[in-house]
């Protein structure tokens, strides 16, 4: 039987995933003047598919789908959310795209309330109000970045929220690797149109960076899963939000992306709202 990781070790893996997520976003941002978001997404899904099939072969597990609906829903909405995130990076900056993409827990909550009719907690309502005020400040912070890029980034967060519910349903019956491969299949099919234009300007250095970005994104997913496994969900989620300011600051230092005062305040409000949304009342001993 596997021994649970200590709190310190779990947090280490969470912050390792934060570094990898930020590094992936910055790598793709540095290539945004050459490749569009569709081609970088195609490369990410291609790397993910190769690794996924390699894992299935190494573990001698079959590729089998038990319930098509949740698996396909996760594939469609998951790949759409990831693609729009990469498009938002190409149109704007890694920091803004990461911030808006990571608003997805809000939309998970809204879907749970209005579609699944789950119980509404006071902390959820407060979190939604605070977080959406933060998003509004970010969208209208007076920066020179395109509003279209911001809306694409926000749309990636909405689709990621929908994907979360399909992933939760699929995880009851499907192998996690098979679930992820479904995302890769749809993403490869949808973004295949970008391959001729992408290959026409691809050189060995860019190919290596794209491959590393795909590998880094895959490893980040593994490490965040490990990190969240043995500590409370609320505490773990708070640590995952660290990748937002990390990506923003790295983009400012390494890529020269601007940061306005309203953007900083909006980021703080969004993270505060996400934390409030994660809070759960303590059960009373009885």
Please list the pLDDT of the chain residue by residue as tens digits (286 residues): 568 889 899 899 989 999 999 999 999 999 999 999 999 999 999 999 999 999 999 999 999 999 999 999 999 999 999 999 999 999 999 999 999 998 888 888 888 888 878 777 888 888 889 999 999 999 888 887 788 999 999 999 999 999 988 988 998 899 989 999 999 999 999 999 999 999 999 999 999 999 999 999 889 888 887 887 788 766 777 788 888 899 999 999 999 898 899 999 999 999 998 888 777 666 554 4
pLDDT on residue 144: 79
pLDDT on residue 230: 86
Q: Distance (Å, rounded) from C-alpha 78 to C-alpha 72?
A: 10
Give the Cβ contact number of residue 261 at 10 Å.
10
Give the Cβ contact number of residue 242 at 10 Å.
18
pLDDT on residue 182: 95
pTM of the model: 0.88
Question: Chain-wide mean pLDDT for the chain?
Answer: 89
- Nearest Cα neighbor of 210 from 79, 102, 86 is 86
pLDDT on residue 151: 95
- Nearest Cα neighbor of 145 from 114, 99, 183, 111 is 99
pLDDT on residue 198: 96
- Distance of CA 166 to CAs 49, 115, 183, Å? 20, 13, 11
pLDDT on residue 78: 94
- Summarised one tens digit per residue, pLDDT across range 57-69 is 999 999 999 999 9
pLDDT on residue 226: 85
- Nearest Cα neighbor of 176 from 215, 222, 211 is 222
- Summarised one tens digit per residue, pLDDT across range 17-45 is 999 999 999 999 999 999 999 999 999 99
pLDDT on residue 285: 47
pLDDT on residue 104: 87
C-beta of residue 243 within 8 angstroms of C-beta of residue 102 = yes
């Amino acid at each position: 039987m596997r021994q649970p990781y200590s709190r310190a070790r779990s947090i280490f893996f969470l912050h390792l995933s934060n570094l990898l997520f930020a590094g992936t976003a910055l790598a793709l941002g540095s290539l945004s003047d050459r490749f569009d978001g569709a081609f970088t997404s195609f490369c990410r899904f291609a790397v993910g598919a190769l690794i996924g099939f390699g894992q299935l072969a190494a573990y001698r597990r079959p590729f089998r789908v038990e319930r098509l609906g949740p698996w396909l829903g996760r594939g469609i909405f998951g790949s759409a959310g990831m693609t729009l995130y990469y498009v938002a990076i190409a149109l704007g900056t890694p920091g803004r795209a990461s911030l808006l993409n990571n608003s997805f827990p809000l939309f998970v909550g809204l879907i749970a309330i209005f579609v699944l009719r789950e119980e509404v907690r006071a902390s959820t309502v407060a979190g939604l109000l605070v977080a959406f005020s933060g998003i509004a400040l970010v969208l209208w912070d007076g920066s020179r970045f395109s509003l279209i890029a911001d809306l694409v980034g926000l749309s990636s967060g909405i689709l990621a929220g929908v994907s979360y519910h399909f992933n939760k349903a699929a995880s009851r019956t499907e192998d996690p690797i098979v679930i992820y491969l479904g995302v890769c299949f749809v993403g490869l099919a949808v973004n295949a149109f970008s391959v001729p234009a992408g290959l026409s300007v691809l050189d060995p250095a860019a190919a290596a960076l794209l491959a590393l970005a795909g590998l880094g994104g895959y490893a980040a997913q593994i490490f965040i899963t490990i990190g969240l496994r043995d500590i409370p969900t609320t505490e773990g989620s708070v640590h995952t939000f660290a990748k937002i300011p990390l990506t923003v600051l790295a983009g400012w230092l390494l890529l020269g992306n601007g940061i306005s005062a309203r953007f900083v305040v909006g980021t703080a409000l969004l993270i505060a709202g996400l934390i409030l949304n994660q809070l759960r009342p303590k059960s009373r001993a009885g």
